[in-house]
Amino acid sequence: MTPTARPSGPTTAPPDVPHPGATPLSADARLAARGLVHRFGATTALAGVDVDLGAGEHLAVMGPSGSGKSTLLHVLAGIVVPTAGVVTLSGQEVQGLSEKKRSLLRRRRYGFVFQFGQLLSELSALENVALPAMLTGTSRRDAEAEAARWLATLGLTDAQGRRPGELSGGQAQRVAVARALVTRPEVVFADEPTGSLDQTTGHDVMSLLVSSTRAVGASLVVVTHDADVAAWCDRRIDMRDGLVVPAGSTTGGGVGPRPGEREAHAAGGPRDLGSASASGALGGGAR
């Protein structure tokens, strides 16, 4: 499950075929990528990256600005088609799918948490969470019932009827977490999920993101430049100049979760999800 680390080096003129040194695709990985290359004009954002993500595994992607970590997330999530390389979800290649099929894939099998501004401003918190379920064919009634359970689980019962503009930053991100998980996705992609939050609120949001994702058995990819955020995950890869580099070479080790907290999450005992209502919410999928 270890990413294939490549030495950092010049990023000019990489090949447009899977990297010759790419390791074979892992058969048991939920999400796997080999030889990912992506260019924007003359700029090479990914210069040959291999990644494996196991079922339920949480992976942090770290690196400074311009290192290619967001591009990697976009390629893994099927948002962007790589210039070269292969991405598979449960063994099925996704990079060759049409835009429409990749859009369906993202809607049905992936969940997303962005830095901010992802909630539709005209909808209430409840409707925002219900929307992805409705888009996959769930009736409005069932979708809103499921959304209400998720919001209750994340401590947002009182905020159900509020619009995004009436939520605090932390509340909005928790709503975003609920929205990402309401369809019980296989993989959740989080792009700087705490980037717009203060440290305490960011800590709470990461705690909920990690525990909720684990509770539904989803894998998690978190892109961040914050070592504290990365420390919540099972594993971390560092990126520089479009390549995976040895861990810790781009930033120092993080402080991460409070003592004992990460162990609790790893053991599947999320801090805020242990109640009867929580298990009810997480047990019944919207799909």
Q: Are 88 and 105 in contact (CB under 8 A)?
A: no
Number of residues that bind other proteins (CB under 8 A): 44
Among 16, 158, 166, 198, binds other proteins (CB under 8 A): 166
Please provide the size of the chain in residues: 287
Among 44, 67, 153, 224, binds other proteins (CB under 8 A): 67
The CA distance from 214 to 210, in Å, is: 6
Q: Between helices 125-135 and 140-153, what is the axis angle to 10°?
A: 130
| DSSP strands (E only) in 193-282 | 219-224, 235-240, 243-245
Interface region with other proteins, contact rule CB under 8 A, candidates 59-67, 81-89, 265-273, 276-284 = 59-67
145 contributes a contact to other proteins by CB under 8 A: no
> What does the block give as tokens for 110?
């992936």
Q: Are 79 and 106 in contact (CB under 8 A)?
A: yes
| Distance in Å, CB of 200 to other proteins, minimum | 22
146 contributes a contact to other proteins by CB under 8 A: no
Among 70, 83, 173, 207, binds other proteins (CB under 8 A): 70
Residues of span 107-126 touching other proteins by CB under 8 A: 107-108, 110-112, 114-115, 117-123
Taking the least distance from each CB to other proteins, the nearer of 22 and 227 is: 227
The CA distance from 243 to 116, in Å, is: 27
The CA distance from 275 to 205, in Å, is: 18
Specify the DSSP class assigned to residue 23: P
Residues of span 188-247 touching other proteins by CB under 8 A: 191-192, 195
Q: What residues line the site for other proteins (CB under 8 A)? A: 45, 65-71, 74, 77, 79, 100, 103-108, 110-112, 114-115, 117-123, 127, 131-132, 134-135, 139-140, 163-166, 191-192, 195
